[in-house]
Amino acid sequence: MSGLVQVGLVGVGIIADTHLQVLAGQPGVALEFTVDPHRTEPPAFRGTKPPHYSDLAEALDVHQPHLVVIATPTDTHADLATQVLTLSSAQVLVEKPLVHDLGSLTRLRSLDGTTDAQNRVFTAHHFSFSPEVRWAAEQISDHPEWGPITDITSAFYDPYILRGEQAFASYISSWMDSGVNQLSMLARFVELTALTSAQQMDNGASAWCTCEYRSRGTVGTARLHSSWLTGSSSKKTTLTFGRSNVEIWIDHTAMTGFATHDGRLLEAYGNDGRTPRKVAHYQPLYESLLSGRPDPVLSFGTAATITELHHAAPPLDVIA
Ligand SMILES: NC(=O)c1ccc[n+]([C@@H]2O[C@H](COP(=O)([O-])OP(=O)(O)OC[C@H]3O[C@@H](n4cnc5c(N)ncnc54)[C@H](O)[C@@H]3O)[C@@H](O)[C@H]2O)c1
């Protein structure tokens, strides 16, 4: 994307605030319109209000955006992305997860011949851009002598139980919401190959899954826990390099990390506390997307791989 990038924003809920904040800081971006059937007023953007619509097709009738951002409930992503592909020539950044079921992925793939979906659809795998994740990826790349990552444990907790049914309406389940974040974050470190077990508990508010991966020629297992039954948000991942006794701990909530060898501290990573967590994810994500050379973790191909692994878990209604 070059020149002034005209953006349309679809869905003006919680995460849209972060998109708007980050987009407002990108000098090459203008907000062309917003869409949300449940809001009558658009949000302010750099002190002015863009045209607002209750329906995406209506907005695309009037505007020719370069990029449409979809920040709506998960089960609407596929239909809205399809509208962007078929009713405009815009690229589309879809909030994660790209789709809520495998049928929707097949439908998006089937549009590739007529709409170039593979090159126009991007997924906001924002956890891959979190500073502690990029720090850990750099450590791994700088230290081939540590050998393969032999074990991974990751736990993602969000206090969504407090939001009750609204959490299920927006995010479907903890696996649907956090599982995609865990898998896309791990894609920075290893090549994910298969979901080897999956259990969803608490009517979908908790999940325990294991995933096989390859790291430096070796096969390992990632253990992934997620839950909404918690009083506060907390997200952590540990990477074990069993052959060299090195461990990396990353705290995604605090955006910190450290590496140890035989109990000795090798490196520690922190931040100045000034950048809010979600802005720290979406700022580099947008810089990458708008650079003209988007990070592969945003690509349709990566989203398709993650979707297939993610949906290898049995759907909730067949779990006893
Ligand atoms: N909240 C977060 O921290 C967060 C972080 C990253 C990604 N996400 C993802 O972003 C998506 C939205 O999450 P949220 O927390 O902002 O949800 P939300 O429920 O707060 O907001 C969704 C908004 O979309 C609007 N909407 C519903 N149907 C629409 C349609 N057809 N056209 C236009 N607007 C429509 C709703 O009125 C609402 O304002 C989800 O897929 C979620 O997984 C959320």
> What is the 71 CA–ligand 1 centroid distance (Å)?
5
Provide mean pLDDT across the span 100-123: 95
**pLDDT attached to residue 320:** 42
Provide mean pLDDT across the span 279-298: 97
Residue owning tokens 């919680």: 14
Q: Are 277 and 155 in contact (CB under 8 A)?
A: no
Name which CATH class applies to 5-124: alpha beta
**pLDDT attached to residue 3:** 82
- Sketch the domain layout of the chain as residue ranges: 5-124, 127-271
**pLDDT attached to residue 311:** 86
Cα separations (Å) of 67 from 32, 41, 97, 145? 10, 21, 18, 42
For the domain 127-271, what is the CATH superfamily, name and number?
Answer: Dihydrodipicolinate Reductase; domain 2 (3.30.360.10)
Verify whether ligand 1 is closer than 6 Å to residue 237 (CB atom).
Answer: no
Nearest-angstrom CA–CA distance, 237 and 181:
12
> What is the 97 CA–ligand 1 centroid distance (Å)?
11
Main-chain phi, psi angles of 135, to 5 degrees: -65, -45
pLDDT(253) > 80 = yes
> What is the 219 CA–ligand 1 centroid distance (Å)?
36
| pTM (predicted TM-score) | 0.95
Give the CA count within 13 Å in the CB-facing half-sphere of 202.
18
193-203 pLDDT per residue, tens? 999 999 999 99
Verify whether ligand 1 is closer than 6 Å to residue 38 (CB atom).
Answer: yes
Here the tokens at position 181 are: 């974040």
Grouping H, G, I as helix, E, B as strand and the rest as coil, residue 76 is: helix
Q: How confident is the model at residue 312 (pLDDT cuts 50, 70, 90)?
A: confident
CA proximity to 93, closest of 212, 7, 214: 7
Verify whether ligand 1 is closer than 6 Å to residue 11 (CB atom).
Answer: yes
Provide mean pLDDT across the span 75-90: 98
pLDDT(167) > 70 = yes
Q: How confident is the model at residue 313 (pLDDT cuts 50, 70, 90)?
A: confident
**pLDDT attached to residue 181:** 97
Helical spans, DSSP H, in the chain: 14-24, 56-62, 77-87, 102-110, 112-115, 117-120, 131-142, 165-171, 174, 180-186, 277-290, 300-310
The protein residue with its alpha carbon nearest to ligand 1, atom 37, reads 38
Q: Are 189 and 120 in contact (CB under 8 A)?
A: no
Here the tokens at position 257 are: 């990390």
Nearest-angstrom CA–CA distance, 254 and 250:
9
Where is pLDDT greater, at 112 or 235? Answer: 235
Verify whether ligand 1 is closer than 6 Å to residue 285 (CB atom).
Answer: no
pLDDT(112) > 80 = yes
Q: How confident is the model at residue 21 (pLDDT cuts 50, 70, 90)?
A: very high
**pLDDT attached to residue 10:** 98
Verify whether ligand 1 is closer than 6 Å to residue 177 (CB atom).
Answer: yes
Q: How confident is the model at residue 96 (pLDDT cuts 50, 70, 90)?
A: very high
CA proximity to 160, closest of 204, 97, 208, 125: 204
**pLDDT attached to residue 17:** 97
Provide mean pLDDT across the span 124-152: 98
Here the tokens at position 9 are: 């924003």
Grouping H, G, I as helix, E, B as strand and the rest as coil, residue 113 is: helix
Atom of ligand 1 nearest to the CA of 15: 16
Cβ atoms within 10 A of the Cβ of 49, count? 12
Verify whether ligand 1 is closer than 6 Å to residue 60 (CB atom).
Answer: no
**pLDDT attached to residue 212:** 96
pLDDT(2) > 70 = no
> What is the 54 CA–ligand 1 centroid distance (Å)?
14
How confident is the prediction for the chain on average, in pLDDT? 95
> What is the 275 CA–ligand 1 centroid distance (Å)?
22
